[in-house]
Amino acid sequence: MEIDKISTKRPATGNVQEAAKILKPSIRIESGGIQTTKEWNCRGLWKNLEDLKSLLNEHLPVCVALQETLLKPSCTSNIQGYSILRKDCNTGERACGGVALLINHATPFSHVLIRTSLQAVAVQVSIFSTVTVCKVYLPPNAPLNFRELQELIDQLRSPFILLGDFNAHHLLWGCQDVNSRGKVVEKLLTELDLTLLNDGSNTYFHSPTQSFSAIDLSICSPSLLLDLTWSVLGNPLGSYHFPVVISYASPIACATLRQPRWKFDQADCETFRTQADITEDMVSSGSIDEACSLYVDDVQISYSSKFLNVAERQIQTTINNFTKWAEQNGFVFSTEKTVSVVFSRKRGVFPNPALFIGRSLIKAVKEFKFLGLIFDQSLRFHRHLKDLKIRSTKALNILKVLANTRWGADRTSLLCLYRALIRSKLDYGSVVYSSACKSLLKILDPVHHQGLRLWEPSLHHRLSPSMLKPTNPH
């Protein structure tokens, strides 16, 4: 592997797969400056070169990150208006993998030397401040090592953006399953207190299985999280990877306005009092009868029996009585929002219960959400706990941002935020879902532990269950 600059000659052959990440330069407007990062695996530099040039002309990028360049050291190329840094990977006479960064000539930059066995290249670019952009390629057939990624990130100067096709699946960034690579990336985000820009949108279409996934990840320092927005374009432009747009907005320094001064001696206080008087007609306490008519419209009817037909008959009788009472009192139940579910841990196939509201059949489902909790047929709460972990992990980003600011964060404020944003989610419904198996409940432990580490950094490397009691997290 070697790093060099590319110049003028186009390679004669090669179907080059690429992931382009673009940082758009600032556009001067009155209210502030806007930048855009575009990430795209165009699957062939020369095959889709015109599409790439079109993106460059449209977005005027500061930096473009490419992966799977499949270039040999002897291959050279040139894109007008950009300096190019690359790291090639060759197996014998055959080129494989490889990464490259294109930097706009109008943008000040410096190459960041990194020592790693991974296919990675990094550069510091000056936008409004200095930001490190790193491109890494992790081949799908190679094992993903946590230590190697950690050593790579330790060499990046903050703030930084790490872009790459990690081929990692996890529910946290929108995939439907979790693989070993996804667990490594999750550990990376947790242990190093990093933030993920992905919002759950799919970035890749797998043609053989006709399925979508989110394997193109954008990781950044917590200090950049509030300045960046992340989205996916709908047109893959001849690739299986959809372009990802990361917008960066930062205010432009402007002339300080003079502090306004008021002529209090010329104020007409009497006229002000007259116009500011609150009359009785302006204040309305509302109707007492209307307030009494408010009610919670979430209703559940349940019956327990060893025999499904007995439970079905009893529930149908209750529904009929309930419907009759509702009609007499002016209530209407929506059949579209009403579902039925059979709770049982017995093995075997159960027929769907035939329950009706009037003449409308109630839809039978395997799981449903009731008062914020997801109930499944076996009452194992597997889906609810995974959803709870995703929501709590996203809420942790607020603590990460505050805990990594220059001015520091008050421990009392961090603890209050943890209790309000994370612990409240974990506690809600815990009386119900605590019946889940212990191994499943443990997936919430990393969220709780990370919140405590952000509150008290000294616990980062020595947090254990025996230490949770002295930290007073409740």
Tell me the average confidence (pLDDT) per consecutive run of 10 residues in the chain, 474 residues long.
Answer: 38 37 32 52 67 80 81 77 84 76 88 91 87 90 90 93 91 89 92 90 87 91 88 81 77 54 84 72 64 71 90 93 88 86 80 88 91 91 93 90 75 88 92 91 89 74 50 48
Task: Give residue 294's pLDDT.
Answer: 62
Between the CA atoms of 123, 126, 129 and 134, what dihedral angle is there, to the nearest 10 degrees?
A: -20
Task: Give residue 463's pLDDT.
Answer: 53
Task: Give residue 23's pLDDT.
Answer: 40
Task: Give residue 43's pLDDT.
Answer: 64
Nearest CA-CA partner of 405 in 189, 129, 158: 158
Look at phi and psi of residue 223 and say left if phi exceeds 0, alpha if psi is from -120 to 50, else beta.
Answer: alpha
Separation between Cα atoms, residue 98 and residue 113, nearest integer Å: 16
Task: Give residue 407's pLDDT.
Answer: 65
Contact 250, 227 (CB under 8 A): yes
Please give the model's pTM, rounded to 2 decimal places.
0.73
Nearest CA-CA partner of 39 in 220, 254, 176: 220
